[in-house]
Each structure stands twice: as C-alpha cells, then as structure tokens.
Amino acid sequence: MSHAKLQLLLIDPQNDFCDLPGAALPVPGAVAGLQRVAALIERLGPRLTAVHVTLDSHQPLHIAHPHGWQDAAGQPPAPFTQISAGEVADGRWQTREPSERARALAYVQALEAGGRYRLVIWPEHCLVGGWGHGVQEDVHQALNAWGREQGRLVEFIAKGGNPHTEHYSALRAEVLDPADPGTAVDAGLIARLQTADTLLVAGEALSHCVASTLRDLLEFWPVERRQDLVLLTDCSHSVPGFEAQGEAFLAEMRAAGIRLAASTDEF
C-alpha cells in the first residue's frame, strides 16, 4: 500500500462556470469534466491525503463586472468587452463613481504591464451566497462523502472578494492591493501544496483561473519536482473565445515538464 501524499487542487468547480441553464459564465464541457473529478475523488478515496478547492467569490460591484463602468452616454459595457488603459485614459470608458477613476486607470495600466491579461468585463458571476457560487452537485456530493469517509476537512479557499482587482489565480491577485494582504502571494497555501508527493490539478476554466494558478505555482515549485504536478486535461476547459489561450497554456505546461494526464489514469 502506497503512503505517498496524493493531493487534489480543484479550481473553481462552481455552478456559474458549468454548462447548465442559468449559469452566468458557462464553459462548454464543464459539467462532464467535473463529473469526472467527482468520479476521481470517489475512486482515489483514502489515497487522497488532502483536497484544496478554490471558490471564485464576488459581489456585483467589481472591477471586472459591468455595473461599475460606463461609456460617454452612461451605458455599461456589454459582457466580454475588453477595456484598455488607453480607453480609460481618454474617457471612452470610465467608472461610474468619479472618485474611483484614477484608481481604475492605474489598475488597468498595471494589469497590462503584467502581460497576462487585458481587463475583460465578465457577466456578474459567482455572487456570494447564490446558486452560481455553489459547488457543482456531483463534486459537492463527492467532497462531502470523502470528508465523512476519511475523517478529513476539505480546504475551501475563497478568492475574488476584493472589488478593485481580479483574482484568477488561487495564489495571488493579478494586481496587488497594498491595503489587502489577501491579494498578496498565499505562501501558506503554496507550502501546503508543496507537501504533496503528487499534486493533481483540475477545474475551470483552463484558459484563465487554472492557467494563472499553475503559472504562479511554477514560480515557487522546485524545478526538479515539476513531474509531481499533474494537470488533468479532461477536467478543465476554456472559456468560449479563449480556446487558443487554453491550447497555448497546455503547450507551455508540456514544455515546462508538467505532466498532462487523464482523470482515469493511475496515480
């Protein structure tokens, strides 16, 4: 019997990212992928020594939601609008609250300087306390069963609560808010993940939150242990319109030495 520490990092397995009626930001294939995650949890059972689950957690007022922005006519941006720093600087887009305008411009400039994303306006999603914030039902049941049977607690990690910055990654916000330590690198979570002999990574969406999390984790993961990171490619999918980014991320991880596997493989 193996005593290796096998852990699961599950990114944002929430209803609003599922291809279900009423979901705010459905990702094609998400339900089937999360059902595979549930089956994996049930199959591995006692072999899983820890399960970490991130939860995107927003309120309506957020830098990447429509309500806080307006054009010259006072109209909010449509979902999936991309707003550049230049468009904020010249007033094409501005925050509804005048006192937030300088801060918003500085944020978009910092986001672009980071080189990973432009500001995308998403539909309001994963609003705390609502159905969309909840964990997909198959995964929810599997996590609860694992906790009861193994006598362990699932670690739930909320992210995205700061309205002034995006928080795709489980490990840090896209732009640090100096007034909020919760946007800084989560050294404690990284340390807990590094205790795994094998860390399985799955969840939604491949193009954004999974990609940001793994890219950040690689900065702190020993190069000689990269094969201990396993991305479950049948349990993660890209946001529509961002499929090329998802494919580029997979190629990047393959080149970096991360193992790409299916949930039905043996670990």
Integer distance in angstroms from the first to the last C-alpha of the chain? 13
d(Cα 166, Cα 64) in Å, to the nearest integer? 7
Q: Which pLDDT value is given to residue 1?
A: 40
Tell me which H or E stretch contains 39: helix 30-44
Model's pTM, two decimal places?
0.96
Q: Are 112 and 85 in contact (CB under 8 A)?
A: yes
d(Cα 234, Cα 264) in Å, to the nearest integer? 9
Tell me which H or E stretch contains 51: strand 48-56
Q: Which pLDDT value is given to residue 3?
A: 58
Per-residue pLDDT of the chain (267 residues; tens, 9 = 90+): 455 799 999 999 999 999 999 999 999 999 999 999 999 999 999 999 999 999 999 999 999 999 999 999 999 999 999 999 999 999 999 999 999 999 999 999 999 999 889 999 999 999 999 999 999 999 999 999 999 999 999 999 999 999 999 999 999 999 999 999 999 999 999 999 999 999 999 999 999 999 999 999 999 999 999 999 999 999 999 999 999 999 999 999 999 999 999 999 999
E strand residue ranges, 57-131: 69-70, 82-83, 94-95, 119-120
129 torsion bin: left (phi>0), alpha (psi -120 to 50), beta (else): left
Q: Which pLDDT value is given to residue 101?
A: 96
Q: Which pLDDT value is given to residue 95?
A: 97
Domains of the chain: 6-60+124-261 (3.40.50.850), 66-120 (no CATH)
Contacts of 93 (CB under 8 A, 6+ apart): 69, 70, 71, 77, 83, 87
Backbone angles phi, psi at 204, to 5 degrees: -125, 150
Q: Which pLDDT value is given to residue 165?
A: 97
